[in-house]
Amino acid sequence: MMRSNERTLDSLSRPLRDLRISVTDRCNFRCTYCMPKEVYGRSFHFLPSSALLTFEEIERLARIFVAHGVEKIRLTGGEPLVRRDLPELVRMLARIEGVRDLTLTTNGSLLGAQARALKAAGLHRLTVSLDSVDDAVFRSMNDVNYSVAGVLAGIDAALESGFSNIKINCVVKRGANDRTIVDLARHFRGTGQIVRFIEFMDVGTTNGWRLDDVVPATEILARLREHFALEPASEQYRGEVAKRYRYADGSGEIGIIASVTQPFCRDCTRARLSSEGLLYTCLFSGAGHDFRALLRGGKSDADIRSFLRGVWHVRSDRYSELRTADTVHLPKVEMSHIGG
């Protein structure tokens, strides 16, 4: 069997290092840039439970991916905490030798009830999506009238459960929440939590993306520098998606993810597994590779490893580097399906 420290390279010599696993396509928010209510309304047909990978199937695939070089696993959704008994899956994945970083992205609404169990199960880190600390702005963006206070309470519960260095993700959309980014940075400055501002991306085809709605990283940084002294921080590893900046007074750092204006495709090491077992080799992919069919078709681990190598070796995705007015309207998997 392949040793856990070996690397599987794609056609551009990018290793397979990160695996993002969506555990559900459902979410209790209807964020306008991800799951707009006019599309994901009461009549929308989500996947039946029988279509979702079981925890045992996810664990089996995770072991195979780790054998091909994956060191970091991130659980996503939809909203992963709506998946029943998720701490049990965390416990299963935490036992896999070679997993150096096991983390989860959540909207924070259910974190208060589950933070302690997630920590006890072996989860290493948390990322919480919070697009504004202005309550009216936040309620408008999540579109289910959920309060900022509820998310902040979830973060507090996570801190009390032993999580530290929680990352706060903010998708910046012009005219929606861009005027509140300074307040968000100020709220978490000095707390040890790292805010990361993300350019609004053209993931999927249902979020009404327009280039005019993108606030470029340069503008985000300029707005922050009007209020804070910031200096660049060095990259921690190849493929780090956020450009990091330290507060000059030592009160922490912020990050900016500029997938639209400053693409980082050449260092991308991420694969994304949807909740029904389709592997996407790019956030902007139009089609996935069916691993569930292999799992439920009686294929051996060796068969699945061979399939994975074949998928990754020919990978040549560079969507963000090649983005044009013509490509933005091509069919792409939705953000809620693979978790960003």
How far apart CA 304 and CA 151 sit, in angstroms, is: 39
How far apart CA 188 and CA 55 sit, in angstroms, is: 35
Round the CA-based radius of gyration of the chain to a whole number and report it.
Answer: 19
pLDDT in tens, the chain (340 residues): 444 456 899 999 999 999 999 999 999 999 999 999 999 999 999 999 999 999 999 999 999 999 999 999 999 999 999 999 999 999 999 999 999 999 999 999 999 999 999 999 999 999 999 999 999 999 999 999 999 999 999 999 999 999 998 999 999 999 999 999 999 999 999 999 999 999 999 888 888 889 999 999 999 999 999 999 999 998 877 668 899 999 999 999 999 999 999 988 999 999 999 999 999 999 989 899 999 999 999 999 999 999 999 999 999 999 788 887 667 777 889 888 898 7
326 burial level (CB within 10 Å; 0-12, 13-18, 19+): exposed
**Residue 8 located in a structural domain:** no
Q: Nearest 5°: CA angle at 127, between 121 and 133? A: 130
- Kindly report the number of other CB atoms within 10 A of residue 136's CB atom: 10
Type and span of the H or E element at 94: helix 86-94
How far apart CA 11 and CA 279 sit, in angstroms, is: 17
CB 209 within 8 A of CB 182: no
- DSSP for 138-190 reads HHHHHSS---HHHHHHHHHHHHHTT--S-EEEEEEBTTTTGGGHHHHHHHHTT
**Residue 59 located in a structural domain:** yes
> Hey, which bits of 160-264 come out as E strands?
167-172, 194-199, 230-232, 243-247, 253-257
Task: Supply the pLDDT for residue 204.
Answer: 86
Task: Supply the pLDDT for residue 1.
Answer: 41
CATH number of domain containing 301? 3.20.20.70
- DSSP for 17-33 reads -EEEEE--S--S---TT
152's CB contacts (< 8 A; 6+ apart) are 133
User: Which domain range does residue 190 map to?
Assistant: 18-338
Question: What tokens appear for 256 in the block?
Answer: 């900016």
**Residue 4 located in a structural domain:** no
Residue 290 one-letter amino acid: D
**Residue 12 located in a structural domain:** no
How far apart CA 129 and CA 222 sit, in angstroms, is: 22
**Residue 108 located in a structural domain:** yes
**Residue 2 located in a structural domain:** no
Number of domains in the chain: 1
Nearest to 239 by CA among 6, 17, 91, 5: 17
**Residue 241 located in a structural domain:** yes
Task: Supply the pLDDT for residue 239.
Answer: 66
Residue 35 is given by DSSP the state S
**Residue 9 located in a structural domain:** no
